Amino acid sequence: MRKIVIASVLHSDNLGDCVIATCFRYLIEKMFPNVQIVELDLGGRTSVQDNDRIVRRLLRWIYFRLPKFIRPLVPLTVWIAGGRRALSRIWKDQIYDADLIVIAGGQIFADNSLNFPLKTYTLSQLASRLQIPIAFNACGAVGQWSKIGKAKFASVLINHNTVSISTRDDASRDYLYSQLPALNDTGVEVIPDPGVWSNILSNDYCSLIRGYVGLCVVAPREVVDQTDKYSIPQLYSFWLDLVRTLTRQNVPTAIFTNGNSDDFGFANDLYQQLRRETCRLKGRSLTICDRPENIERLVTFIRSFRLVVTQRLHALVVAFSCGVPAVPVCWNGKLLAFSNYAHLPVLPQVGELPSIESVTKIALSPKTAQPHEKRLEEMQKQAKQHIFEVINSVMED
């Protein structure tokens, strides 16, 4: 029996990564029912572990106040001191005797404090020693890479053991080519995110929020740590003003998240403040969805909405897959790239955020943002075909 290892950030509390891995596994099982599948978490975890929010915020606060040239030395020191050996021990048993390791997708080619450069390098080196080929499927790429991160990614991608590389959008492929020109010789394909198949994960609806507008929020601290385009007060004001406008128009509204604990903390802060403002106004509905603990619950939430306004990529991907109109709040390139790839409308940006008026207009007439069913079918077919070709190449050996 052939053995395929699916590597992803499976046990992140941001369920978007679990959506990727689960859809990828679904497609393999559908096309190759006799293949043994092993799931590997790139963080070395075996389950979702909620870090204490106060401790995590403190560590993040300290880290981002270090000089920029010092920051990469922190994870590098941890990696050299024992992180590499610890991950190798965990992964060796999982990938032993495998025929192929596939990185299922996600924002893998990103140098977030050397996180993925070091982890993919460690996995690649281990796989090379065991003579197990690696494929990268529909991964995202973003700048700016550090010199160390670029060197590690180069070692992983420009490697005879790496048999296939694909990105999830044109912008990611172009960025890989700009950073590693040698990849022009081997070629990088553009393949849809496996999450376009997420409509198979749940057929249920949540009656309490059916017909609501769903607002998927991201903790402002995460946004400002990754880009200098926004401030925390600006992001708070955007969501507060949007909900106020929607409630004045008697549009039932629900705040929700992809499961990230910091995101949910922010969502709850928004809800408590807005509830104090709106609880006295009859006929104006505002609620907050519980933090989803699994992807089925997340898909059920999204499937129930009349419109999704989202800062998280995979809330957008799931909405697209389920045929739910969606408006991306494009605070980073990946939401814009997916919207362009999926032929979704992108609102004019005012100060790098969509105008409240334009979002409200779509909320009152969601069909103007309805996903194209034909485009979804094309992307699902393309994603499935690519996975078939990658796995089948191993089956035929």
Give per-residue pLDDT as tens, 306-322.
999 999 999 999 999 99
Q: Which of 3, 4, 2 is nearest to 104 (CA)?
A: 4
- Residue 181: CB partners within 8 Å, gap ≥ 6? none
Backbone angles phi, psi at 163, to 5 degrees: -95, -15
Distance CA 384, CA 30 (A): 10
- Per-residue confidence at 274, pLDDT binned at 50, 70, 90? confident
Q: Are residues 26 and 153 in the same domain?
A: yes
Positive or negative: CA dihedral 256, 257, 258, 264 = negative
CATH number at residue 24: 3.40.50
Contact 245, 360 (CB under 8 A): yes
**Hey, what are 186's tokens?**
């081997």
Are residue 96 and residue 143 in the same domain, yes or no?
A: yes
Q: Is the pLDDT higher at 267 or at 76?
A: 267
- d(CA 391, CA 189) in angstroms, rounded, equals 16
Q: Which of 145-149, 188-192, 247-251, 364-368 has the lowest mean pLDDT?
A: 364-368
What tens digit of pLDDT does each residue of 177-233 get? 999 999 988 889 999 999 999 999 999 999 889 999 999 999 998 888 777 788 899
Which tens digit of pLDDT belongs to each residue from 29-84?
999 999 999 999 998 777 665 554 555 666 666 666 777 667 767 777 777 777 77
Do 236 and 92 fall within a single domain? Answer: no
Q: Of 40, 58, 10, which is closest to residue 100 (Cα–Cα)?
A: 40
- Tokens found for residue 162: 């790496």
Whether 396 is covered by a domain: the verdict is no
Does the residue 394 lie in any domain? Answer: no
Question: Which domain-ending residue is among 136, 157, 191?
Answer: 191
Contacts of residue 128, defined as CB under 8 A and 6 or more positions apart, other chains included, come to: 159, 161
pLDDT tens per residue across span 321-342 = 999 999 998 888 899 899 999 9
Q: What is the pLDDT of residues 344-370, one digit of tens each?
A: 888 766 557 888 998 999 988 888 778
Q: Residue 350 sits in a domain of what CATH number? A: 3.40.50.2000
Average pLDDT, the chain: 88
For residue 397, tell me if it sits in a domain. Answer: no
- Whether the pLDDT of residue 116 is over 80: the answer is yes
Task: Report helix, strand or coil for 263.
Answer: helix
Closest to 15 measured CA to CA, from 286, 317, 372, 251: 317
User: Does the pLDDT value for residue 131 go beyond 60?
Assistant: yes
Domain around 163: 3-191
Residue 389 counted as domain residue: no
10 and 158 within one domain: yes
Measured CA to CA, the distance from residue 79 to residue 70 in angstroms comes to 15
Give the total number of structural domains in the chain.
Answer: 2
- Of all residues in the chain, what percent carry a pLDDT higher than 70? 90
Domain termination residue (choose one: 163, 191, 219): 191
Are residues 140 and 207 located together in one domain of the fold? no
Q: How far apart are CA 189 and CA 173, in angstroms?
A: 8
User: What's the pLDDT tens digit per position in 5-21?
Assistant: 999 998 888 999 999 99
pLDDT at residue 113, rounded to an integer? 79
Q: Say whether both 228 and 259 belong to one domain.
A: yes
What is the arithmetic mean of pLDDT over 109-118?
88
Q: Could you tell me what percent of the chain has a pLDDT over 90?
A: 62
> In the predicted model, is pLDDT for residue 386 greater than 90?
yes
CB under 8 Å to 9, separation ≥6 — which residues? 17, 41, 42, 43, 106
pLDDT value for 395: 77
Write phi, then psi, for 175 (nearest 5 degrees).
Answer: -70, -40
Instruction: Return the pLDDT at 4.
Output: 97
Does any domain span residue 246?
yes
